[in-house]
Amino acid sequence: MAKNLNDIYGAPGSGGSRYLKPEDLGGREPVVVIQHAELRTLVGRTTEDKIIVTFVDKTKTLKCNGTQARAIAAAAGTEDWDQWRGVRLRLFPSTTFSGSPTIGVAAAGVAAVARPVARPVPPPIARPVAVNQGPLAVDDIPF
């Protein structure tokens, strides 16, 4: 295999990474088609296995976190990433539970955000108020 700096550091002007970042979406929600998905062992500060997804006619790949991988599996109808080829996805800007920007993944045609249905708040339940019947004896304290 020929050595290429772009394979290591990303192409010039690509933000220095071959992996898709939230800012690469530019606020858009592109529909993409999976060309290939594979498991790679990535070595950095730690060594970890990640599913890497390549898209048709796109230069950057998606390094999936668990949430993204499960969303793709749901869209594909299988957890076998070898079967994900041809699956259409919509990518959208999102945030993690800790508030960090990330890339959301959904089957193409599925709304990005499920809007909760507003339900009326029931009135508080009236609790009976005890009338002062004098000091309690030690034996009268219920616990």
Over residues 8-21, the pLDDT tens digits come to 555 555 556 889 99
**DSSP calls for 14-66:** TTT-SB--GGGGTT---EEEEEEEEEEEEESSSEEEEEEEEETT-S-BEE--H
Domain contains 132: no
**Best CA proximity match to 52, nearest among 89, 8, 82, 27:** 82
Domain contains 49: yes
Tally of structural domains, the chain: 1
Give the pLDDT confidence score for residue 67 in this predicted structure.
Answer: 94
Domain encompassing residue 108: 18-112
| 71-129 confidence digits (pLDDT tens) | 999 999 999 999 999 999 999 999 988 999 999 999 987 555 544 555 676 777 766 65
pTM score > 0.85 for this model? no
Domain contains 70: yes
